[in-house]
A and B are shown apart, each in its own frame.
Chain A
Amino acid sequence: ETGVTQTPRHLVMGMTNKKSLKCEQHLGHNAMYWYKQSAKKPLELMFVYNFKEQTENNSVPSRFSPECPNSSHLFLHLHTLQPEDSALYLCASSPERDYEQYFGPGTRLTVT
């Protein structure tokens, strides 16, 4: 259960705040992902990093800014968010980009 960790687990922020979500994987994987999970909607892929390089940006608004300093860490920097951005943000990792993914516990984000 400690393979992929995320902090914080819960976050409440105002629309003018700047915050960051952190993901860390201890599995030796080379690919990492950010997903958004909203109520009653499918999991939405946001960003993909493979060997620290961003290989996919799924038309995500610029108020979400990812950062991958190394293969074990992934950040999601948030600024000027909207209430509709409130959701569960899940990080995942996989050995390489086309292998099965392992999810972190998620950060429950509420934008007020």
Chain B
Amino acid sequence: GENVEQHPSTLSVQEGDSAVIKCTYSDSASNYFPWYKQELGKRPQLIIDIRSNVGEKKDQRIAVTLNKTAKHFSLHITETQPEDSAVYFCAARDNFNKFYFGSGTKLNVKP
């Protein structure tokens, strides 16, 4: 089955800097890759996603890149703000429409 690994587990950046979170997956047939943000005590919320026929997608300060050959995808947050502090989860959907989640990255943006 699919195996999703996420790094780093914790990330601390200064406000205004960029943050990058990387996930790797094992099943080359996986075709959909969402990213979720979970603030402390709240539900995970979808912030951006990318499908396997696209290499990059951007939404304001958030972007996701996908490298199908290397089987990794990354979340990029530019001009970070304190409200970006949260746990971020990546996920991959395999050919059987089953979702596999990464273990999460706790992002701390220091003012």
Q: Which residues of A contact B (CB under 8 A)?
A: 4, 40-45, 48, 56, 90, 97-98, 100-106
Contacts and interface: CB of A to CB of B under 8 A. Distances in A.
Interface string B27-69: 0000010101000001111100100000000000000000000
A90 B97 CA distance: 19
Contact of A101 (B98, B99, B100, B104): B99
Contacts of A42: 4, 89, 100-104
B46 A98 contact: no
Given A40-B103, A100-B34, 5 more contacts: A42-B4, A42-B102, A98-B97, A100-B49, A101-B99
Given A42-B103, A43-B101, A45-B99, A100 B43 contact: no
Given A43-B44, A106-B43, A98 B89 contact: no
Interface of B: 4, 32, 34, 36, 42-46, 49, 89, 91, 93, 97-104
Contacts of B98: 45, 48, 56
24 contacts: A4-B43, A41-B103, A42-B89, A42-B100, A42-B101, A42-B102, A42-B103, A42-B104, A43-B44, A43-B89, A45-B98, A45-B100, A45-B101, A48-B98, A56-B98, A97-B97, A98-B93, A100-B46, A103-B36, A103-B43, A103-B45, A104-B43, A105-B42, A105-B43
For the residues of B in contact with A, the DSSP-based class is strand
Contacts of B32: 98
B18 to A, nearest CB: 25
Contacts of A48: 98
